[in-house]
Chain A
Amino acid sequence: MMTEGKLLAEMQDLRDRITGITGTAVASRDGLIISEDTGGVNADNLAALTSAALSLAQRLAREAGQGTLREAITRSSGGYVAIYAIGTTAVLVLLGDEGLDITRLHRESRSVVDTIEKLLA
């Protein structure tokens, strides 16, 4: 399978595996979409905003002296947006509903990020 196919398969698998994930996207750090499975959410806008939000969250973590950013989570009345750095060149964004299994997400996010980073290498 080609890399983009594997990447999309990994993203879809993530949606199947973690209850409550409604969409996923991988974007470059300059805000361009690499692969998306967002289910109707505008992926281009999402990529651009995600890139900016990740940079801001990383600066915030540094400023607060709290070490390396693990994830940036936005919780709204209708669900979650979780953002993860993929190395230094890309970003993973996950969309979830109100029932998103946060515990499982925390448990699996590191290995998901590693897998995607290897696919993009």
Chain B
Amino acid sequence: MESEEGSVGPLREALMVCAAAGMSGTLRVTGDPGGAIHLTDGRVAAIETPGAPGPEVLLLRSHRVTEAGWDDAFAAAATSGGRMRAELVRRAMVGSGELEGLLRTALADAMFVLASGTVEEYRAEPGPVECALPLEPGAEPDGLLAEASRRIRVLAALPGRNDRGRLRVVAMPVPPGVRLGEGQDEILALADGRRSPRDLAFALGRGVYATMLLLVRMQQAGLLVPVSARAFAAAARTPGRTGSGGEPQDVGGLPQRQRDLPAPSRRLRAPGRLPERLMPLGLLRPRTGRDVSPGETS
């Protein structure tokens, strides 16, 4: 057990006890990111963790299901006492097989994230399981743990940094003639030096592991460069970088090619709005009109 990757060992220990007892209830895992593993008859029905997007985020952020449709299905399931899963399928918002696949993918991703993090303690709480989209019947803990181990090994074998889970990246200009692969344009639009792989996964409605693999490939292709979040934030606030046309000042620690990058985000920031300087305390910036950027005439 000692040789197991990441936190697979303690998770296996806890899950095996629950599985042997055929427990239904929740295994609470304290740590970073920690989370709650919901079990039915000793099998994993759902995992909630701040570290990985759950089925709702995967369905909504990827636009496979509309928000209005989700809300309607949720309300109908709540009032009829029915199941959210049946409601989504009945309304033809998602196919039964597709949903099953998505739930399994979400479980594998969440277990990978828990296993990649730290486990300080765990506590089994037998009782009814409350979650919107449980996998029925649940997944075997053994299979999920084996897959989490495999993913950790795959990432460890890739060249590059070993703190990949916390690595922030910044988009580089796309070289002429380079065709972007699936999902790469969305990553480039969001890679602003602030977001970790987990943050990007949530923003895009994709799995954390899939996002990390994509980030590695894009770094290898020179489309992204790693950046210290702190250095980038400091650079964004360096006096002289707040207006257009000014020479950027020293942005210490950043790769040379990055100095000419304008505002961190390409899509999410309002056009023309650049990071503003931090005002000294007591020298408060006068409030601008609603939705009026500095320099714009109202």
A residues engaging B (CB < 8 A)? 2-5, 7-8, 12, 15-16, 19-20, 22, 28, 31-37, 39-40, 42-45, 47-48, 77, 97-101, 104, 120
Contact = CB atoms under 8 A, between A and B. Distances in A.
A16 B202 contact: no
Contacts of A4: 278-281
Interface of B: 32-34, 49-54, 56-57, 60, 67, 192, 194, 198-199, 202-203, 229-230, 233, 237, 263-265, 268-270, 273, 276, 278-281, 284-288, 290-291
Contacts, number: 91
B202 A39 contact: no
Nearest to A79: B202
A101 B284 contact: no
Contacts of A3: 281
A105 B277 CA distance: 28
B287 A32 contact: yes
A48 B270 contact: no
A75 B215 CA distance: 30
A83 B50 CA distance: 20
Contacts of B276: 36, 43
Given A42-B270, A45-B291, A100 B50 contact: yes
Nearest to B289: A44
Contact of B33 (A15, A22, A28, A101): A101
Given A12-B229, A120-B281, A44 B51 contact: no
B285 A39 contact: no
Contact of A16 (B229, B270, B284): B229
Pairs of residues from A and B, 8 with the lowest C-beta to C-beta distance, nearest first: A101-B50, A32-B284, A19-B50, A40-B269, A99-B50, A97-B202, A40-B268, A19-B33
Contacts of B54: 99
Contacts of A16: 229
